Copies of this chain bind each other. A is one copy, B any other.
Amino acid sequence: MLDIDLSKAKKAVIEADAKTVLVQLPEGLKQFTTQIAEELKVNNNEVFVVMDPTFGACDLALHQMKSLNADLLIHLGHAPIHRPKNVVHIPIYDTVDGKTFEKLMKEVEVELKKKKFKAVALCTHAQFLPLLDKIKNRLEEKNFKVLIGEGSPRIAERGQVLGCNYTAVTSIEHSADAILYFGEGLFHPIGIAFSSKKPVLFADTSTAKVVDLSKERDLYARKRFAAIAMAKEAESFGILISTKTGQRYKQVALDCKALIEGHGKKAFLLAMDLVREEYMAGVKVDCFVNTACTRIVGDDAEHWKKPIINPLELEIVFGKRKWEDFNFDVLY
Contact = CB atoms under 8 A, between A and B. Distances in A.
Interface of A: 22, 27, 30-31, 33-35, 37, 46-53, 63-64, 66-69, 236, 240-241, 243, 248, 250, 254, 266, 268-275, 279-285
A271 to B, nearest CB: 4
Contacts of A281: 27, 30
Given A67-B63, A67-B243, A266-B34, A52 B272 contact: yes
Contacts of A271: 22, 48-51, 64, 68
Contacts of A37: 268-269
Contacts of A250: 68-69
Contacts of A66: 63
Contacts of A48: 241, 269-271
A329 B52 CA distance: 24
**Central interface residue in A22, A49, A274, by most chain B CB within 10 Å:** A49
Contacts of A269: 37, 46-49
**Central interface residue in A30, A31, A47, A271, by most chain B CB within 10 Å:** A271
A285 B273 CA distance: 27
A67 B66 CA distance: 13
Nearest to A242: B67
Nearest to A244: B67
Contact of A243 (B33, B68, B236, B274): B68
Given A30-B283, A50-B271, A50-B272, 7 more contacts: A46-B254, A51-B271, A63-B66, A64-B271, A67-B243, A67-B248, A68-B243
A236 B52 CA distance: 21
Copies of this subunit: 2
Contacts of A33: 268, 270, 282-284
Contact of A51 (B34, B63, B270): B270
Contact of A64 (B30, B34, B243, B275): B243
Contact of A31 (B64, B67, B282): B282
Contacts of A241: 48, 68
Contacts of A279: 51-53
A236 to B, nearest CB: 7
Contact of A280 (B46, B47, B51): B51
A254 B284 CA distance: 44
B283 A64 contact: no
